[in-house]
Every structure is written in C-alpha cells, then in structure tokens.
Amino acid sequence: MPKIVKIQCGPGWVDATVPDSAIVLQYGCDLFPETKPLSDPAKVAREALASPIGSAPLADLVSEGSRVTIAFDDPFKSPAPIRITIPAVVEELLRAGVAEGDIDLVCAGGGHRKRTPLELRKLLGAEIYDRFCAFDGGVSRIRCHDCTADNVYLGQTELGDHVEYDKALAESDLVVYAGTIVPQAFGGYAGQGAAIGLAGARTLDSLHSHHVYKRKEIMNSNYLPEHNIYRRHKLAVHRVLEEKTGKRVFYIDAIMGRDGGTCGVHAGCAPELEEVQYPLADRIFRISVPQFDIVVVGVPHDLGYDTSDNPATLGNLSQPLRMVTDKPLLRDPGALIALSQCRGIISRHRPADREALELFRDCFSLDELYVHSDYFWNHSEYLDAYRHHYAFCPKHSLFMCGDASHHWNLARKSIVAGNVVPGVIREHGLTPAPDFDTAYKLALDGLGKLAPDVLVLPTFFSDPKPIFDVQ
C-alpha cells in the first residue's frame, strides 16, 4: 500500500503519495536520531575557553592593552551559538585585563551580503549589540567584513591560492572566531571559519574557483583532505594566513542541533580542533543508508542566499546528493525530485544574478562562466549595491548561477515540481512538473524498474542535515 507524506514546498506543504517501502528521513527519526542539546551551553563555553585544544587558555593569550577582534559567522548558520559563545569570550577577555574599548566585533560573511543594524542586533542579542554599537553619536565597534576593501594580501599557498584577508587579522593582537559546526555539501563540516568568512576577493576566487569548488570530484561531504580538494586548499590557505601574520586564530565553535540547540562547544586552534569536533559531529550527523533510485526533497521558500523563486538557487536543490562521504546517494540511472516554488523572481539582494544568468546561456560549460570574473568584481553598480545596500558581492552571482550544473553531474534526471515557471526550469537543464504525481512518473521513465528504492526528505533544508555514509 502506498503512503502519504507531508513535504515542504515553497511557503507551504504538499501531500505526496510514495511507495510504502520508501524511507522517510527527518531529524529525530530512528535512522537519524536527535541529539539532546546541552543543558547549560554557556557553562560548557566557559570551560572550553579555559581548556582549549591546540592552544593556551584564552586568558593567557591577551593582557592589558591587547586589541582583540571577535569575528563571527553570519546568519546563514544558526545565530543561537553566537549569543552563547560571544558573551563568554567577552567576559574572559575582560577578566584577563583587556579593555572593552579594545574589542571589536566583525560579522564574517565572506562574499555574502552585509547585515543591516537590525539584523545584527537580532543575531548578537540586544545586550551585546547595545554594548558595542553606540546610538549616542559614538563610534560603533561592530562592522561587517567587506571582501572588496580593507584587506591585506599575504601571498600564495603551495597550491597557488591567493591569501588575502580582512585587515583585522594583521592589525589585531588576537582574532577570536565564534563559529558554528554544521554539515556542509562541500568539505563535510564548517570550520576554520576565518578562511572563508574573512576572506578577500582574491582568496574567494581561489577557494571558490571552478577547479577547487565546482568539479564533480569534490561534490561530497568528506572532510578528509586526501578525499576532498576543497578541504586541501582551505587548510593550505588557513596555514599561510597564520604563518604570514605570525598569529594563530583562536576559535570557539558550537555544534548545532535542532532549533538552535547546542550539542557541543569546543575552543582552540585549527586544525587540531577538528580532530575533536569532526568525530563528534560524525556521531551526530553521519548516518548509514543504502543507495536509492529516487530521492525526493522538500524545498522551503527561504533558501538563505535568496528565495526558491530565484533561478540561481536551483543548484541548492541538489544538496542531498552532495551530502555523501564517498559513494553516490543515487544509483545510476537515478532521479531527484525537488518539490519547490520557482517563479523566476530575483530579490534586490542579488542584482547581479540576472546578468550572470544571461551570460550562462552563452556558455557551453560552467568553467566558461568564470571568464567573466573581473567584469563582475569591477562592476560599479554591483559593487555599490554590495558595499552600501546589503547586496551579495558581485562575484557571488557567478558562484551561484552555474550551480544547476551540479544536477547534471549527480543525477540522470532532476525534476522540479510545484508552482514553477516551466521555461525557467528547462533553461537550467532540469525537468519541470506541475505536481508530485507527474514528477514521480517522469522519474520512473527510463529507470528500468517499477518498484524503485525511494528516499524522502520532507524537511531537509529546515532541520539539521544528515551526511550520508552510503553502503
């Protein structure tokens, strides 16, 4: 007997009829059990600062007169740990003799859009925000990183990557980075947050190049450098960054569960920190599954970089297929069904997307799109929107607009079903469908079997994501 599953789709939900044998996977189910959050994460954060990994305690790294920058992940990861870890860091710095006026906060967004004051206040919490951002005419000590300005060039890695970073890494006596450990479709888990969050344009070009970031071989969540070229390059850049500045970045990272629940807090220096964090994250997020013929994923309207209405976000729909350690999640010739809304609408935060999408029409392959990098980096209108009007950096449109090509590498057929403009979907090499039943029939066509193995991910983009250890 078939069963009905409620799946996210745009701003609402749809009912999908799937085979009774289909595996429905959500955080908290038997296959992907929920990890109980820490009862007192603030206490654990303070303990982590006192007993860090690969470093002396935070209090021993500073003294009276030290100038400290606290960088932190932008809201594309959960803001909850920042409200726990940053107050703990500030408290420890003050106890060690650092003057509060010598502490600055930097939202480390890489090439993401800068955050409005109200967004930063919500992210940090009113208490910390109001302490560091004066409303009485004083100078704010909270800013957003700008990947196009006020960066220092530090040379190249042995792999040829440019090393260009926020001036705070050169000018501060210590940089503390408050990060978040969550599963990622590239390189396993977040970590070494400064490597991306505080990177200048030239480093972003290196680490997000077609060679390092877009090839089929690195579309996986294996964090071992020998299995993931992106991880090798990211670690190499981080290593040169510390060598050239003569200072190590001190991290305090939180491993996140559901609804901002904190499952662990660790402090110290990378890569030593990874040797503790990543195995713990594996126990929380890594699950064993077989291969499937069809993967069904629900897609909410808000996808962080923009809404699902933006064609540039279509590449995100392939994320489940990239959250693997080695073996593909889909057996050949498998199909992906994404239930989504995509009406071809681009928000004001991404003004360069429309031109990037048009340019991609003239390219025979994704790497050809990257020939236009200098044009986007130096486009005065797009730069002004990024620097002053809360838009993404111009090059981010190239990073995003060709991502639909991931589908071409990972699935025989990718079908986007729901409230979609069919031409928008077809233009990116994907197959449009008006509803799930039609999409399912299209997925069966060419599969060669009437009883496929089906995986359903109803809330993949809203809950903590699994990393699939495919057997």
Nearest to 466 by CA among 76, 80, 185: 185
Distance CA 258, CA 468 (A): 18
- Cβ–Cβ under 8 Å, residues 367 and 209: no
CATH 3.40.50.11440 domain extents, the chain: 41-285
Q: What is the pLDDT of residue 259?
A: 81
Residues of the chain with confidence (pLDDT) below 50: none
Q: Which residues pair with 330 in a beta bridge?
A: 292
Strand ordering across the sheet containing 174-181: 142-144, 103-108, 68-73, 174-181, 250-256, 262-268
Query: Which H/E stretch holds residue 285?
Result: helix 274-285
Q: Alpha helices of 96-207 — where are they, by DSSP H?
A: 117-124, 126-132, 168-171, 194-197, 201-207
Distance CA 115, CA 126 (A): 15
CATH 3.90.226.30 domain extents, the chain: 3-33+290-470
- Give how far Cα 350 sits from Cα of 110, 111, 304, 355, Å: 15, 12, 12, 10
Q: What is the pLDDT of residue 136?
A: 60
Distance CA 273, CA 275 (A): 5
Q: What is the pLDDT of residue 343?
A: 97
Q: What is the pLDDT of residue 137?
A: 56
What does the pLDDT look like over 158-216, one tens digit per residue? 999 999 999 999 999 999 999 999 999 988 999 889 999 999 999 999 999 888 888 77
Distance CA 34, CA 50 (A): 29
- Cβ–Cβ under 8 Å, residues 347 and 310: yes
- Give how far Cα 434 sits from Cα of 290, 340, 419, 425, Å: 29, 10, 7, 12
- Model pTM score: 0.95
- 41-285: CATH, from 3.10.105.10, 1.10.10.10, 3.40.50.11440, 3.40.50.300: 3.40.50.11440
Which amino acid belongs to residue 307?
Answer: T
Q: What is the pLDDT of residue 450?
A: 84
Distance CA 327, CA 232 (A): 20
Which amino acid belongs to residue 312?
Answer: A
| Chain position carrying tokens 């013929």 | 293
- Give how far Cα 57 sits from Cα of 48, 49, 53, 92, Å: 9, 6, 9, 10
Q: Alpha helices of 105-220 — where are they, by DSSP H?
A: 117-124, 126-132, 168-171, 194-197, 201-207
Nearest to 93 by CA among 190, 172, 5: 172
**CATH numeric code, 3-33+290-470:** 3.90.226.30
Mean pLDDT of the chain: 94
Q: Which residues pair with 24 in a beta bridge?
A: 456
Reported for 284-288, long-range contacts at CB under 8 A and 24+ positions apart, including other chains, are: 284/35, 284/255, 284/257, 284/464, 285/183, 285/189, 285/464, 285/465, 285/466, 285/467, 286/325, 286/466, 286/467, 286/469, 287/31, 287/32, 287/466, 287/467, 287/468, 287/469, 288/469, 288/471
Q: What does R_g of the chain's alpha carbons equal in angstroms?
A: 22
Distance CA 413, CA 423 (A): 16
Using left for φ > 0, alpha for ψ between -120 and 50, and beta otherwise, residue 418 falls in left
- Give how far Cα 412 sits from Cα of 31, 188, 331, Å: 27, 24, 9
Q: What is the pLDDT of residue 367?
A: 84
Distance CA 316, CA 297 (A): 11
